Copies of this chain bind each other. A is one copy, B any other.
Amino acid sequence: MTSDFFAHAARFASNLPAPKARGGGSARYNFGVGHNDPSAVPVAALSAAAAAAITEEGESLAIYNLGGSALGHEKLRRIIADKLNAHRGFALGADEVLITSGSLQGMDLVNALLCDRGDCVIIEQFTYGAAISKARSAGVDAIPAVLDEGGIVIEALRETLERLAAEGRRPKYIYTIPTVQNPTGTIMPLERRKALLALAAEFDVPIYEDECYADLIWSGEAPPALAALSPEQVIHIGSLSKSLAPALRLGYMVAPWQALGQILALKTDAGTGAIEQMTAARYLDGHFDAHVETLTRHLETKLDAMMEAIGREFGTSVEVVRPTGGLFVWMAYPEGIDTAPLVKAAAEEGISVNAGSDWSVDPEHGRRFVRLCFALPSVEDIEAGIAAFAEVSHKVLGMPERSGNMARRGTE
């Protein structure tokens, strides 16, 4: 037996993604992944919640799904239903919520439920990178929906749906992040939501709504979720990654039973981790709103630091709209700029950011953007990291030309 038995590609399935390399260091300034704020993790309370939950429910760990429903831990489902009812306009019971192992599992399940290879789907032109990569893995053709500051542009979507209908194609879903859109940070107004629901119904296409960031809004109120406005036509997913912690792999799905019962048959994982579920349920019971309030204050402070640093370091050479929630800003260079070489050079300097093209269904649309996450680094690291990023940007793209009021070397 040689040591490269598994090195022959013929052994593997076809069309696999590129393998991962061993190890891989972490960035000195990490603006590249939607991590959360370590200082906002309620460590003592979570620790106490875990201890109490296991003391109370620990024997049931011997039984798959704790001897209960395959939908997940009942108390956690009730807490999620309650928070959706209180804040997102729903009227749900606990049995209308499915717990998933992060929203990423929810995304896999939605694709498995709705899509065959060769189908097409509509995805917002700028979107969560995993929504694009998972659609592609499922062999599905992703068609972009044009966005403006209010989200999906209805007239443009109508044109797309009409064109597809003329070609005899019906999209299997319209994927949208209406509330704190990733990466643009916008919130879709109520009238736009109603128009989107009406248009989707007219063309008989389900809406697949992702509200992972909807808990993290620090100013103003968001309109109700699409799934709350029209429960029958929407599959809604969400997560505790953003409102509690991402290393807990806890997400959820709300959908009509015709969809949820079929999803349950596809969720062949014997349930989501029970200690995560019971700990989160115990902690969030009665603490959800207060925790989110504390967390969003932390996040807003970091956003302030990032906006100030961008203004100071980049001046008018880039455009950034201040989001009213979430964990990231979407920074635009002038038309014609390609941020790919900048992102690569920054990585070599220990600065991790997302290339806009990776967050775009059509990479061309996002070529002049970068996404910068601000929840993980400290305020000091945000300031130093954005300054370092501006330095790399100047070297690679020739902009910004100034740092604060100082001309950069070589610029003048």
Q: Which of A's residues lie within 8 Å of B, judged by CB?
A: 1-7, 11-14, 16-23, 26, 33, 35-41, 43-44, 46-48, 50-52, 54-55, 58-67, 69-70, 95, 101-102, 104-105, 108, 112-116, 130, 133-134, 137, 172, 201, 206, 230, 232-233, 245-250, 255-259, 261-262, 264-266, 268-276, 279, 375-376
Contact = CB atoms under 8 A, between A and B. Distances in A.
Nearest to A197: B1
Contacts of A35: 62-64
A62 B247 contact: yes
B47 A105 contact: no
A258 B6 contact: yes
B51 A48 contact: yes
Nearest to A245: B61
A46 B22 contact: no
Given A38-B60, A64-B247, A101-B269, 19 more contacts: A1-B232, A2-B232, A11-B206, A12-B114, A13-B114, A20-B261, A22-B95, A22-B261, A26-B67, A36-B61, A43-B59, A48-B51, A62-B247, A101-B101, A102-B270, A246-B270, A247-B271, A273-B275, A275-B276
Nearest to A235: B6
Given A5-B233, A43-B55, A269 B104 contact: yes
Q: Which 5 A-B pairs have the closest CB atoms?
A: A43-B58, A247-B274, A273-B273, A50-B50, A61-B245
B19 A261 contact: yes
A342 to B, nearest CB: 24
Copies of this protein in the assembly total 2
Nearest to A258: B6
19 contacts: A5-B232, A6-B258, A12-B113, A20-B262, A41-B62, A44-B55, A46-B54, A47-B51, A48-B51, A50-B279, A62-B375, A101-B101, A105-B269, A130-B268, A248-B274, A249-B272, A272-B273, A273-B273, A275-B275
A60 B273 CA distance: 18
A47 B49 CA distance: 10
Contacts of A272: 101, 249, 273
B258 A17 contact: no
Q: Which of A62, A114, A256 lies at the interface centre, i.e. has the most chain B CB atoms within 10 A of its CB?
A: A62
A95 B20 CA distance: 13
Contact of A17 (B23, B58, B265): B265
Contact of A63 (B36, B264, B271): B36
Contacts of A256: 3, 5-6
A41 B61 contact: yes
Contacts of A95: 22
A206 B5 contact: yes
A140 B409 CA distance: 63
A217 to B, nearest CB: 19
Contacts of A105: 269
B62 A206 contact: no
Nearest to A69: B23
B16 A37 contact: no
